């Protein structure tokens, strides 16, 4: 995986993914902190009784069992036994390997005897030492503090085996000589507990991730429509007004976009209508001038006047075509760009010009065929007029088609690269007025190409001549 792919995975581009990633990271951090607290400050197994509660429960159970006949005790013990405090009744003394002593457990015995009102009652405490069940008893420690649980040791270094849990067994002799034994519930140790914890974590993350993605996509759905409408507007395609939905800021932006789209459409329509009216008004005086020029007796003067009139009519026609941009009304569709370029080259070869196509036999793209034919024809005719011929090269790239038209002419000064795209602009030195045209070829071509979402760039070739590079999305 490349570094770019890793960055995209770690920091995705879409707003929805970034929002979801932020929520998930915050959730993971919270869960990690909670898990750390849970794993570092927890008891083993089920919740641990504090000494006071433990003594009260043991006292109540001992008194209840002592007041129950032995024939009913098994059923009573079954009802009293629970996962938190396991209770067993036996007629004989339980098999205790070693009765543990020490300040902590002696304090437990003393308080339990006081609660039972039996100062001499036999009470046994067995602690199962990890890896050494029959090892020596732990040393004496401080007396138990009834205000806090029997969980974590009160002092650093105190044996973990002093904690009340499943490894501690408390046995109390009843007045009839039988015994009640108490121990903590079975802990959920081992891989199953970790697996269940991981499953809980995974389930919570999955639910939060799904909800976050759903909410983020719902929130950003209007933005996708907004971007699509802006893209259509940028390539000259009209669209219906966008619905003003979503948050307040998005509704305000959508409202402004709809107003801008309407103003642009009205501006283009007004400009076209104005130019059509100007063209119509100019054609009438031009027709009268042509009639008057026919009456001029001087043949040379008449020829010059008619040539000027022809040039004016050509400029008016070209201006109208440029302003109306009829090709924009043409629907977009799939086309074979390679076939279109080859056919244009063949037409110019048939007219006796030097033209060469270099590229694949087929290249499918999307666009307006008539408009693209007009744009590339203008570029090819410019290359023939000012370079004597051309070579056109088609290359397919990732999501784009690159078309380069190279001629062997004098080229263009670098500071003129942008100026030549201005309407009616023609170079005096390298591009002669005598070659014809009114200076709208490159303007029209760039308008069409940009209307397809592409662009045109100029470059002087090192070996001489001009290279016109057209980039189109596929």
* 370 and 392 share one domain: yes
Report the DSSP pairing between strands 168-173 and 389-397: unpaired
Please check whether residues 131 and 256 belong to one and the same domain. Answer: no
Shared domain check, 349 and 271: no
Q: What is the pLDDT of residue 155?
A: 33
Same domain, 167 and 113: yes
Both 182 and 103 in one domain: the answer is: yes
Q: Supply the CATH number for residue 337's domain.
A: 3.30.565.10
388 and 447, same domain (yes or no): yes
State how far the Cα of 444 lies from the Cα of 353, in Å rounded to an integer.
23
The answer to whether the beta carbons of residues 441 and 455 sit under 8 Å apart is no
Nearest Cα residue to 59 out of 122, 114, 119: 114
**3-class DSSP state of 334:** strand
Does 237 reside within a domain? no
pTM, two decimal places: 0.48
Q: Residue 23 has which token pair?
A: 């929520």
Which of residues 188, 213, 228 is at a domain's end? 188
What would the DSSP string read from start to end of 343-391? HHHHHHHHTT-EEEEES-S--EEEE-HHHHHHHHHHHHHHHHHHHSEEE
Question: What does the alpha-carbon distance between residue 449 and residue 471 come to, in Å, rounded to a whole number?
Answer: 8
Residue 46: both structure tokens together: 């089920």
pLDDT per residue as tens, the chain (474 positions): 565 555 555 556 666 676 777 777 777 777 776 776 666 555 444 444 567 778 888 899 999 999 999 888 888 988 888 777 888 999 888 887 777 877 678 888 888 899 999 888 998 888 876 544 444 444 444 444 433 333 333 333 334 334 566 678 889 999 898 999 988 765 444 455 567 667 777 777 787 777 777 777 777 777 777 777 777 776 556 667 877 776 677 778 888 888 887 887 777 677 767 777 777 677 778 888 888 888 888 888 888 888 878 777 777 776 666 666 554 567 778 899 999 999 999 999 988 889 999 999 888 888 888 888 888 998 998 889 888 889 999 998 888 899 999 998 888 888 888 888 877 777 654 444 455 556 778 888 888 888 888 899 999 998 888 999 999 987
Residue finishing a domain among 161, 188, 215? 188
What CATH number is associated with residue 254? 1.10.287.130
> Angle at CA 101, nearest 5°, toward 138 and 43?
60
Count of domains forming the chain: 3
Q: Rounded to whole angstroms, how far apart are CA atoms 57 and 81? A: 12
* Residue range of the domain that includes 260: 248-324
Assess if residue 306 is contained within a domain: yes
Judge whether 105 lies within some domain. yes
Is 313 a member of any domain? Answer: yes
Cα radius of gyration (the chain): 46
pLDDT at 286: 82
Nearest Cα neighbor of 179 from 331, 70, 302 is 70
Query: Are 81 and 182 in the same domain?
Result: yes
In a domain, 233, yes or no: no
Residues 442 and 426 in one domain: yes
Instruction: Report how far residue 185's alpha carbon sits from residue 341's, in angstroms, rounded to the nearest whole number.
Output: 84
Q: What is the DSSP string of 277-316?
A: HHHHHHHHHHHHHHHHHTT-S-HHHHHHHHHHHHHHHHHH
The verdict on residue 416 lying in a domain is: yes
Do 416 and 367 form a contact (C-beta atoms < 8 A)?
Answer: no
Say what the pLDDT of residue 147 is: 35
Task: Note whether 456 and 381 are same-domain residues.
Answer: yes
Residues 107 and 86 in one domain: yes
13 in a structural domain: no
Q: Is residue 83 part of a domain?
A: yes
175 and 124 fall within a common domain = yes
Q: What is the pLDDT of residue 395?
A: 92
CA end-to-end span of the chain: 27
Domain final residue, candidates 136, 170, 188: 188
DSSP reduced 3-state for 320: helix
The rounded distance, in Å, linking the Cα atoms of 302 and 309 is: 11
Same domain, 311 and 346: no
């Amino acid at each position: 995986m490349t570094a770019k792919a890793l960055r995209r995975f770690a920091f995705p581009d879409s707003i929805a993914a970034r929002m979801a990633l932020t929520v998930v990271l915050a959730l993971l951090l919270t869960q990690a902190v909670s898990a750390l607290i849970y794993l570092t400050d927890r008891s083993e197994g089920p919740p641990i009784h504090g000494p006071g509660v433990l003594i009260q429960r043991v006292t109540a159970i001992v008194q209840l069992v002592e007041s129950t006949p032995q024939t009913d005790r098994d059923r009573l013990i079954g009802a009293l036994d629970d996962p938190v405090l396991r209770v067993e009744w036996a007629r004989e003394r339980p098999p205790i390997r070693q009765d543990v002593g020490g300040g902590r457990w002696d304090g437990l015995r003393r308080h339990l005897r006081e609660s039972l009102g039996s100062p001499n009652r036999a009470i046994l405490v067995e602690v199962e030492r990890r890896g050494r069940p029959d090892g020596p008893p732990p040393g004496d420690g401080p007396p138990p503090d009834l205000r806090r649980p029997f969980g974590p040791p009160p002092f650093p270094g105190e044996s973990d085996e002093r904690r009340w849990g499943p490894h501690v067994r408390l046995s109390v002799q009843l007045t009839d000589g039988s015994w009640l034994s108490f121990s903590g519930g079975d802990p959920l140790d081992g891989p199953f507990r970790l697996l269940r914890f991981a499953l809980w974590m995974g389930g919570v993350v999955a639910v939060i991730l799904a909800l976050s993605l759903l909410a983020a996509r719902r929130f950003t759905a209007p933005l996708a429509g907004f971007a699509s409408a802006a893209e259509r507007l940028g390539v000259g395609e009209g669209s219906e007004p966008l619905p003003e939905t979503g948050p307040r800021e998005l509704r305000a932006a959508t409202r402004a976009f709809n107003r801008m789209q309407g103003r642009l459409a009205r501006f283009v329509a007004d400009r076209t209508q104005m130019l059509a009216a100007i063209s119509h008004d100019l054609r009438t005086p031009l027709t009268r001038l042509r009639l008057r020029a026919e009456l001029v007796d001087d043949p040379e003067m008449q020829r010059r006047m008619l040539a000027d009139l022809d040039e004016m009519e050509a400029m008016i026609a070209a201006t109208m075509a440029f302003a109306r941009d009829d090709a924009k009304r043409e629907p977009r569709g799939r086309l074979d760009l390679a076939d279109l370029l080859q056919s244009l080259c063949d037409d110019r070869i048939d007219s006796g010009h030097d033209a060469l196509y270099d590229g694949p036999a087929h290249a499918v793209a999307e666009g307006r065929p008539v408009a693209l034919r007009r744009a590339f024809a203008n570029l090819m005719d410019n290359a023939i007029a000012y370079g004597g011929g051309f070579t056109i090269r088609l290359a397919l790239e990732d999501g784009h088609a690159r078309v380069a038209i190279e001629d062997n002419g004098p080229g263009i000064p670098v500071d003129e690269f942008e100026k030549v795209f201005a309407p009616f602009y023609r170079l005096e030195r390298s591009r002669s007025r005598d070659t014809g045209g009114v200076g709208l070829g490159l303007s029209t071509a760039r308008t069409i190409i940009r209307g397809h979402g592409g662009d045109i760039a100029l470059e002087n070739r090192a070996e001489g001549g001009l290279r016109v590079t057209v980039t189109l999305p596929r």
